[in-house]
Chains A and B, each alone.
Chain A
């Protein structure tokens, strides 16, 4: 039992170490993106545009939920005029970056892992190596960069749609004054500490989730079973990393204010 735990621990450390080395070689392969921007554009399409619908729908629903819950809670204190502030803070600080990252891990991250893992299992990566093409800069780097670029944009769109969802429920359905909704938001939401902190968070999340996804795919056991396990692991690791990092980043960025 103890030995089993020890072995699992060593395996986990080994896996993490390989992930770190992998990240280093990814950064080393970034030069190619300057010469081949098309590869990046294609991946932004695959990773970003294809994830957009789920992000927009989820953002709208979450915003509407915030409007409803916020109103019901605040009206008890007679503070429903602060609804805009509450919705704005929740979305820009927390829910925008975190939920976008979780949805991204489930939709785009798993797809990335499965895609790269299948390329490994069907020897496509080996074939590239034999054609004297390094698969790291050709296949992995554009996907990784696309994830890092796309995540803050998706999170911003999530927040914007969410704000309108909150406005829709709070102001249109429940009768909070629309002007008050927007002005209380503008009054209380700070660009640096709320909006940009959220953007920074989603940037970190994009980095970690995509890194985990492409690494798990690249190092997957080259069998169908291996790929499906790698996909599961990528989503689980990515999601847990997002939630853990969210706490750490929140503690660092919002504590001294």
Chain B
């Protein structure tokens, strides 16, 4: 197992997110975590990355228990993780080249020449070697995502986490990202965790799928198995139905009473 969450409890102030969550993510493949907004998908990535601490339980990444690490140890572990953020989070003051070079410069003492080689290799992988001198503000959404991807794999991590990698992209760019995640995962021998709400892309890319709802895993398995589930809450999410176990209406008092309470 690359990542294991053992009976994790987590809550934001008074809002509980997980109660005794158990989750195991295998090495080597692409694991896709799906679920509607607010079900705690991104929180999961923050727990794995050690940016949030669970109230109870523990998180083990690459055989290291995150809670037992001090800041140095945590930062050391993070060098083996890459993360693609939802809004790319490119450093706006640095060029494309410098963004990809950033983790390399910060963590190694390689010569300028070697860094240039490494960065060019990563940029070539995402097809943007020609754009290396552009600034992030000059990139389209799809290009920015690819640069962020190149940066996430700059240090050849063991694990890459993708937070909503398909959101806000046009169909062509989406296709490019789907293909890149697959290729990079297989070519570099990494493991990937993809958090997404895009069902089609998520299922097409996954080796293994977890479907979340309200802080719990409701379905897991291969994409085919998950797609064949009959659970109504999972079906509602997978088929994109407006009403179902997740109610269309926000909880309210009785409609007729509410409308006519003024006249009596």
Q: How far is the CB of B218 from chain A (nearest CB, A)?
A: 28
- Asked if B107 and A130 sit within 8 Å, CB to CB, the answer is no
Q: Does A177 contact B (CB under 8 A)?
A: no
- Asked if B106 and A127 sit within 8 Å, CB to CB, the answer is no
Q: Does A225 contact B (CB under 8 A)?
A: no
Q: Does B89 contact A (CB under 8 A)?
A: yes
- Asked if A130 and B78 sit within 8 Å, CB to CB, the answer is yes
Count residues of A near B (Cβ-Cβ below 8 Å). 15
Q: Does B90 contact A (CB under 8 A)?
A: yes
Question: Residue-by-residue, is A124-135 near B (CB-CB < 8 Å gives 1, otherwise 0)?
Answer: 101111111110
Q: Does A155 contact B (CB under 8 A)?
A: no
Within 8 A of A (CB), among B175-222: none
Which B residues lie within 8 Å of A128 (CB)? 91
Contact segment of A115-123, A191-199, A207-215, A236-244: A115-123
Docked pose: A102 CA to B115 CA in angstroms: 43
Q: Does B83 contact A (CB under 8 A)?
A: yes
Question: Residue-by-residue, is B92-111 near A (CB-CB < 8 Å gives 1, otherwise 0)?
Answer: 10000000001100110000
- Asked if A118 and B78 sit within 8 Å, CB to CB, the answer is no
For the residues of A in contact with B, the DSSP-based class is helix
Could you tell me which A residues sit within 8 Å of B by CB distance?
118-119, 122-124, 126-134, 138
Extra inter-chain contacts (12) besides given A127-B89, A127-B91, A130-B83, CB under 8 Å: A119-B92, A124-B90, A126-B85, A128-B91, A129-B51, A130-B78, A130-B81, A131-B78, A132-B75, A132-B106, A133-B102, A133-B106
Could you tell me which B residues sit within 8 Å of A by CB distance?
49, 51, 71, 75-76, 78-79, 81, 83, 85-87, 89-92, 102-103, 106-107, 151
Can you name 27 A-B residue pairings with CB atoms under 8 Å? A119-B91, A122-B92, A123-B89, A124-B90, A124-B91, A124-B92, A126-B51, A127-B83, A127-B89, A128-B91, A129-B51, A129-B78, A130-B49, A130-B51, A130-B78, A130-B81, A131-B83, A131-B103, A131-B151, A132-B75, A132-B76, A132-B79, A132-B103, A133-B102, A133-B103, A134-B71, A138-B106
